[in-house]
C-alpha cells in the first residue's frame, strides 16, 4: 500500500509540473534552437565548439509581446515561415506597419502594410528573410528573443540593433 501511494504521489506531482510547464511555455516564455548562420554574429557566431563541432545557440523566447503585438525596431523575433508554417525562422525587425523600407540591395521602396513587419537576418548573405518573401504578417510571430540560454559561455541578453539606412517614418 505504501509503494502504491508513493507512486501515485510521484505521478500526481509529475503531471502537475508538466501542466504548469506547458502553460508557462505556451503563454510566457519558451526555448528555441537557432539553426544556420543568418543571424551571425548575434546568434550562432560559429566560435563555440565542442571537439571541433559548432554548437548551435538556444534562445529564450518571450511571448507576452504577442498581446497587442508590442514590437519595436531591432527586436529579434521567432516566426513561422510564410511559405511553410512548419518551419521557424529567427530574424530582426527592421520596419513596422506604416513605415517605408528601402532595402540595401535594391532600389525598391515599399510601405509596410498594417498588421505586417519587415524582418532581416544580421548576416544578409546567408539569410532567407523579407528581402525574399516580403513583409510578414504579425500573426506569424511566435515571440521575441530576449536572451541566449545555451551554450554556457554565450549566456546573456540579445542586443537590439537596427540598420539605420533602411527605415523611414510614414
Is residue 2 domain-resident? Answer: no
DSSP 29: E
Scanning 54-115, the segments in alpha helix (DSSP H) are none
Interatomic CA distance for residues 66 and 80, integer angstroms: 14
List pLDDT tens digits, range 39-52: 888 887 775 555 66
Is residue 18 domain-resident? Answer: no
Interatomic CA distance for residues 157 and 33, integer angstroms: 16
State the CB neighbour count (10 A cutoff) for residue 24: 12
Is residue 151 domain-resident? Answer: yes
Cell numbers given for 41: 554574429
Total domains in the fold of the chain: 1
Is residue 10 domain-resident? Answer: no
Question: Which residue in 85, 146, 99, 64 sits closest to 119, CA to CA?
Answer: 99
Q: Which is more confidently placed, 15 or 42?
A: 42
**Does the pLDDT at position 109 exceed 60?**
yes
Is residue 69 domain-resident? Answer: yes
Question: Which residue in 59, 29, 24, 65 sits closest to 44, CA to CA?
Answer: 59
pLDDT > 90: what percent of the chain? Answer: 15
Whole-structure pTM value: 0.74
Q: Which of 37, 63, 91, 130 is catalytic?
A: 91
Q: Which residue has cell 529564450?
A: 60
86 catalytic residue (yes or no): no
38 catalytic residue (yes or no): yes
Q: Which domain holds residue 123?
A: 30-168
Is residue 45 domain-resident? Answer: yes
Q: Which of 38, 40, 127, 130 is catalytic?
A: 38
Is residue 24 domain-resident? Answer: no
Amino acid at each position: 500500500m505504501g509503494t502504491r501511494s508513493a507512486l501515485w504521489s510521484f505521478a500526481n506531482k509529475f503531471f502537475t509540473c508538466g501542466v504548469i510547464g506547458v502553460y508557462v511555455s505556451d503563454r510566457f516564455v519558451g526555448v528555441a534552437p537557432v539553426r544556420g548562420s543568418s543571424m551571425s554574429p548575434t546568434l550562432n557566431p560559429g566560435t563555440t565548439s565542442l571537439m571541433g563541432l559548432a554548437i548551435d545557440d538556444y534562445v529564450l523566447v518571450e511571448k507576452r509581446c504577442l498581446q497587442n503585438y508590442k514590437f519595436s525596431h531591432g527586436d529579434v523575433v521567432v516566426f513561422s515561415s510564410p511559405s511553410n508554417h512548419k518551419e521557424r525562422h529567427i530574424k530582426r525587425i527592421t520596419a513596422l506597419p506604416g513605415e517605408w523600407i528601402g532595402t540595401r540591395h535594391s532600389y525598391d521602396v515599399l510601405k509596410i502594410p498594417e498588421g505586417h513587419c519587415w524582418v532581416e537576418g544580421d548576416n544578409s548573405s546567408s539569410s532567407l528573410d523579407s528581402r525574399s518573401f516580403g513583409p510578414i504578417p504579425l500573426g506569424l510571430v511566435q515571440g521575441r528573443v530576449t536572451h541566449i540560454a545555451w551554450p554556457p559561455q554565450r549566456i546573456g541578453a540579445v542586443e537590439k540593433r537596427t540598420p539605420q539606412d533602411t527605415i523611414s517614418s510614414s
